[in-house]
Structure 1
């Protein structure tokens, strides 16, 4: 197959290149850019000095269907909302890594993102690409809304509990931390070295745009509206997300029973790894990989379940999950091109 990447010069785009160039079912990768046409990718990223064959080109809608079978959109907000309809009309499958198509309700998108939402027909056609919990719909889709990085870690950590109906849904508190690459490639005071090094920041207090995405999917599983307390923090590392979640149990539980619940839920999903009882994951355990590692326990004293979920925000939280979606859409094994051991230390 031939694939293209729009927005190939961002961190998500570079990760797509890293995995797709080793994907056995890919013939050609075409990189599109609206601002750096004519440059080769190694002009921008010296670590790709042997990949000078990747020349950035402008996207021509009239001929793109002759160049690619699938397009990955690693673009800023607004691009997918404007271009996805024209692309799928030309028979191209689209996997959107931005947030344009994740929220089904236009009013909610416009409230949280502060911009005009995509057309309702486009939102209705898009399939939310949380691979472990939406595989059947993904397999039949031509337009995928790749989940956000925080929602991926959070939803994989909460899904078995929510679907089993054993927690008080109004009790959910999600405390999440991320590395600086989640803010993207553009320089800013927030991620400047002298601002971030040896520092620890809270941000998006009660306003983070991933909140309604988390609530939307929890509502889909729970069957009723859900509100959560979700709060991210920025830590002085490049990659990684850790989401620590707290939920009140409807009745006392055994940690071993919770562990069995998660084992059953994820036993057929190769990229979710459950630690031993009493063990909790670290971000280094998934660095550079498409894995999500989960640990959990029941606190008898407070009647609360504590779940810890870690992912690499650029892989399972972006490019890796996008390729996992690509594999499902095309009937390939989910691990194709992605079965790489995490980088450690």
Structure 2
């Protein structure tokens, strides 16, 4: 081996070692001056080749996962360590979050949410709405397949706290998405309902939507709702509650309040809560008799304008002119006016 080649190799090794040391020092200083950057910068190694290292580790991770029948208690710790190693090299590795973290859902949902929470705080991934959605989905679904210990009250409280945490993630997903998917919005509503009342989420869902609608009303500055098509979702929630709890007095009371306030200008069947059209005598959805509106009082034909197209009757006659009421003058004032008139005549 030539002497020059040996020198070149030694120089390269020294350069790599120095580069790694410098990268480590700069990373520590950056973390001290800008703590938020700790979430976006991986551990420095090999002079800054951590992204290459993360790709290599990811391929090894995929190969390892392929060798497993399933992720269970015997291997979940190893899966977590391998995944954290990948994300330690490259915290912006979105595929590792979207695919790798979901493999922990059944055996370690808490750890999966913890990793996704860190990803949600990463400024480089702030436009990714799927990461917070996955976190919320795990919180609201994964624990249904895990046998937890504790009293009934303790289990109920845990469910409420997880639902509240999920609401924040779903809200983040909606706000990050330019046009949120329907299932994301529905997940947000259901999580709010479970946080309010896990025992009757149908009733709680209607209450959540009604509260959101109330916040948008009034003459003051209105709060913009992140829930699209709010009125449609309210009437659907009311229909589901009526079908699910037809004899519940509290449910009936809530539905009645909602219909009167939100849909006061619409005509809705009292039995099935579907809207009916002008001239309908029976509901098209359930066949219930409804109060007819928009018809000619003379021939009962559907009105299309001011005059009935069937009989010519003027269904909207002009209002009579209001009579001007003369202000009443007190007797004392009348006498004073007479005296003033007499005084002028005397002059």
TM-score normalised by the shorter chain: which range applies?
Answer: under 0.3
Higher relative contact order (CA 8 A, sep 6+): 1
Larger proportion of helix: 2
TM-score (norm 1): 0.25
The structure with the larger Rg is 2
TM-score (norm 2): 0.25
Larger proportion of strand: 1
